[in-house]
Chains A and B, each alone.
Chain A
Amino acid sequence: MARLSISHLKKTYGALTVVDDVDITIADGEFLVLLGPSGCGKTTTLRMIAGFIAPTSGAITIGEQDVTNLPPWKRHCGLVFQSYALFPHMTVAQNVAFGLEMHKVPQAERGPRVAEALRLVRLGGFDERYPRQLSGGQQQRVALARALAMEPQVLLLDEPLSNLDAKLRLEVRIEIRELQQKLGLTTIMVTHDQEEALTMADRLVVMEKGQVRQIGTQRELYEKPADRFVAGFIGRSAFVEGQVTGQGRFRTAGGLDIACTAAAASGPATLALRPERIAVGGEAEGLPNRFQARIEHASYLGAQLDVQVALNEQDRMLLQIPNKVGLAEPHVGESITIGWAESAGLVYPQGA
């Protein structure tokens, strides 16, 4: 295993920039997830690491070796494809042995290594089956075993769970994560599934429109989103438009004055609030920002209630109320008191 660094990576197709100046360093044994909406450039980045797409500029280094101009077959990174891409005319054992054969591993060594790889993914005894005789989950594990058998320097996973059913997905998530930690694999996974990303990663990279918006741990991304996009993409946020009027002061479009900790420069800005950080009724007592709001929508979601409230004609917020014993069910049209601490609101200057 090895560390991997991507510096100033860029890919353009004519006037279209798909990956724009991406800079990431992945430590040895780290599990990094590239997360973003479709078309954000995460898959293109992964395919550039694997060598299937030539970067327009920038460099990729695996361990100490600059691989930017190496063809895919000389890169030693094991890729698990979204479609698994198993060789349909080969048995499970032949599929797994293919990489060993290509790397000229002596015949005598291949058998034990294939068996070991299949044992790791709990597919011992499936050697002589053909891919078409396996379930989706089993095929996925063969693809993983095939990538692991050649002992790659970096493991790349391209939306590996998206073709599995929901229940299996939860299991395989944990399995892959455990295997990755046990073997100390430097791993990069691409996904658009936020929950999947949060449960598996050591660190996450949030991408949008070809650019890295933020790199950090789950907590960093949630507590301190770097910009408005991340605040909306990781978890949920209610956004209130307005102006920064002074140090720690924000005035909403509807004319409310709000205390916040942000030191954004004066001018047009957006206030982002996490729904579960807004207190309701008695709990709002004593908080610096306290307002009367009218309930516009209320959805009962079991563990919690989602409530949209209007503070005035322009300012709206989203609340997430835990479904505790004795909770008075909110009704549309009712007036309630809401409140939040200064630190709960994050302010982003316009355009960020």
Chain B
Amino acid sequence: MSAGSQRFGRYALNGAAGLSLGFILLPLIFVTWLAFFRQEIPSFPPEGYSLKWFAGAANNKPFIDGFMLSLQVAVASTLIGLLLGVPASLALVRHRIPLGGGVSTLLLLPLVMPGIVLGTATYVFQIEVEIATQLPVMGSLGGLIAAHTLVVIPWVVRLVTASLVGFDRSIEEAAQNLGAGPVTTFWRVTLPSIRPGIVAAALFGFVTSFGNLEMSLFLVGPGRTTLPIAILQYLEWKIDPTVAAASLIQIVLICVAMIVTDRYVKLSRVV
């Protein structure tokens, strides 16, 4: 290949990468910009800049309540998802379980299922359970957490399985040879070795749950809305930059979580 066409190839690649990156970042840039507009109805060019919408978002009761609920649900479903997903991954990788391939596909399914379908199915299921057991499942916090756990599990299974596949089992044998029983071996050797996968799984599970809108729409009860739903409801009546400000706060929080996690675990290595 000549130097000229090589240079052309490099420009073309950089150009395409730049375009894609722009396509991804443009909405984020606009949300960020919009959050600082002074006027209520967004129009260009902005009439001036202000921080009042941040104050508005922070004082908006539905947003605060939604944030607290989303946080609660995301933390709980991430923890439960880890408790179920880590042992499931261990079983799938380590043991020959009957229909292992099927089980593994089933555990990953919520990831590819459209949110609306998942929401409808869970909604119908929870109603049936409520009718059958007479327990208040529908619209309860427990019901919401259970549903969110469902979308956390695929992340846990995928990321933990990936870190288990490259795991040299002789280090577990080494621990046992040195006098460690199975439980000690698991806590001292197995778990620390797959920690990057677990941390990444927790982060992605948390973000997925925290931002989930479609499925949650079916499952929230009266007076109990998650942040994405609160934002959606606000947008039905107003289009002022309060929503942009709330979104920007969320983006910043998630970015901080990613950066902090990346200090302990190189995310690029597990994802």
A interface residue numbers (CB < 8 A to B) = 50-52, 71-79, 81-83, 85-89, 98-99, 102-103, 146-147, 150
Chain B residues closer than 8 Å to A99, beta-carbon distance: 178-179
Please judge, given known A-B contacts A81-B170, A102-B184, whether A89 and B192 are in contact too, CB under 8 Å.
yes
**20 A-B residue pairs with CB within 8 Å:** A50-B173, A71-B176, A72-B173, A73-B180, A78-B178, A79-B174, A81-B170, A81-B174, A85-B168, A85-B174, A87-B174, A87-B189, A87-B192, A88-B171, A98-B178, A102-B180, A103-B179, A146-B174, A146-B178, A147-B177
Q: How far is the CB of B20 from chain A (nearest CB, A)?
A: 35
Q: How far is the CB of A61 from chain B (nearest CB, A)?
A: 18
| CA–CA, A180 and B112, complex, Å | 59
Chain B residues closer than 8 Å to A71, beta-carbon distance: 176, 181
- In the complex formed, the residue of B with least CB distance to A52 is B173
Q: How far is the CB of B118 from chain A (nearest CB, A)?
A: 37
* Complex contact B179–A73 (CB within 8 A): yes
Q: 6 tightest A-B contacts by CB? A: A102-B179, A99-B178, A85-B174, A85-B170, A72-B176, A89-B192
Interface of B is mostly: helix
Please judge, given known A-B contacts A83-B168, A83-B170, A86-B171, whether A77 and B193 are in contact too, CB under 8 Å.
no
Whether B175 sits at the interface, judged by CB under 8 Å, is yes
A sample of 6 more A-B contacts (CB under 8 A), given A50-B177, A71-B176, A102-B178, is: A72-B176, A79-B173, A85-B170, A87-B189, A99-B178, A102-B179
Instruction: For A87, give its contact among B171, B176, B177, B195 (CB under 8 Å).
Output: B171
Most chain A CB within a 10 A radius of its CB, from B175, B184, B195? B175
Q: How far is the CB of B18 from chain A (nearest CB, A)?
A: 36
Q: A-facing mask of B147-185, CB < 8 A → 1, else 0?
A: 000000000000000000000101101111111110010
Q: A-facing mask of B86-99, CB < 8 A → 1, else 0?
A: 00000000000000
Q: How far is the CB of B136 from chain A (nearest CB, A)?
A: 45
Q: How far is the CB of A26 from chain B (nearest CB, A)?
A: 18
| CA–CA, A264 and B175, complex, Å | 52
* Complex contact B176–A78 (CB within 8 A): no
| CA–CA, A309 and B104, complex, Å | 63
Chain A residues closer than 8 Å to B188, beta-carbon distance: 98
Chain A residues closer than 8 Å to B177, beta-carbon distance: 50, 72-73, 75, 77-79, 147
| CA–CA, A240 and B185, complex, Å | 55
- In the complex formed, the residue of A with least CB distance to B195 is A89
| CA–CA, A82 and B188, complex, Å | 22
Instruction: For B173, give its contact among A78, A85, A88 (CB under 8 Å).
Output: A85
| CA–CA, A74 and B184, complex, Å | 14
Q: How far is the CB of A230 from chain B (nearest CB, A)?
A: 31
Q: How far is the CB of B173 from chain A (nearest CB, A)?
A: 6
Q: How far is the CB of A50 from chain B (nearest CB, A)?
A: 6
Most chain A CB within a 10 A radius of its CB, from B171, B178, B184? B178
* Complex contact A88–B181 (CB within 8 A): no
List the count of A-B residue pairs having beta carbons below 8 Å apart: 67
* Complex contact B174–A89 (CB within 8 A): no
| CA–CA, A74 and B193, complex, Å | 24
Most chain B CB within a 10 A radius of its CB, from A51, A81, A85, A86? A85
- In the complex formed, the residue of A with least CB distance to B185 is A73
Q: How far is the CB of A14 from chain B (nearest CB, A)?
A: 15
| CA–CA, A83 and B170, complex, Å | 8
- In the complex formed, the residue of A with least CB distance to B181 is A73
* Complex contact A150–B173 (CB within 8 A): no
| CA–CA, A5 and B177, complex, Å | 19
| CA–CA, A347 and B188, complex, Å | 57
Chain A residues closer than 8 Å to B189, beta-carbon distance: 87
Chain B residues closer than 8 Å to A75, beta-carbon distance: 177
Chain B residues closer than 8 Å to A52, beta-carbon distance: 173, 176
* Complex contact A73–B193 (CB within 8 A): no
Q: How far is the CB of B188 from chain A (nearest CB, A)?
A: 8
Instruction: For A98, give its contact among B173, B175, B181 (CB under 8 Å).
Output: B175
Chain B residues closer than 8 Å to A51, beta-carbon distance: 176
| CA–CA, A87 and B185, complex, Å | 11
* Complex contact A81–B193 (CB within 8 A): no
Q: How far is the CB of B124 from chain A (nearest CB, A)?
A: 46
Q: How far is the CB of A293 from chain B (nearest CB, A)?
A: 52
- In the complex formed, the residue of B with least CB distance to A158 is B170
Chain A residues closer than 8 Å to B171, beta-carbon distance: 85-88
- In the complex formed, the residue of A with least CB distance to B184 is A102
- In the complex formed, the residue of B with least CB distance to A146 is B178
Q: How far is the CB of B197 from chain A (nearest CB, A)?
A: 13
| CA–CA, A52 and B174, complex, Å | 10
| CA–CA, A103 and B181, complex, Å | 11
Most chain B CB within a 10 A radius of its CB, from A74, A78, A89, A103? A89
| CA–CA, A88 and B184, complex, Å | 16
Q: How far is the CB of B219 from chain A (nearest CB, A)?
A: 40
Chain A residues closer than 8 Å to B192, beta-carbon distance: 87, 89
* Complex contact B178–A88 (CB within 8 A): no
- In the complex formed, the residue of A with least CB distance to B169 is A85
| CA–CA, A75 and B177, complex, Å | 8
Which residues of chain B from 53 to 109 have any CB-CB distance to chain A below 8 Å in the complex? none
| CA–CA, A71 and B171, complex, Å | 16
Instruction: For A150, give its contact among B178, B181, B184, B195 (CB under 8 Å).
Output: B178
Most chain A CB within a 10 A radius of its CB, from B170, B176, B177, B195? B177
- In the complex formed, the residue of A with least CB distance to B170 is A85
Most chain A CB within a 10 A radius of its CB, from B168, B179, B180, B181? B179
Q: How far is the CB of B37 from chain A (nearest CB, A)?
A: 49
* Complex contact B176–A150 (CB within 8 A): no
Q: How far is the CB of A152 from chain B (nearest CB, A)?
A: 9
Chain B residues closer than 8 Å to A83, beta-carbon distance: 168, 170
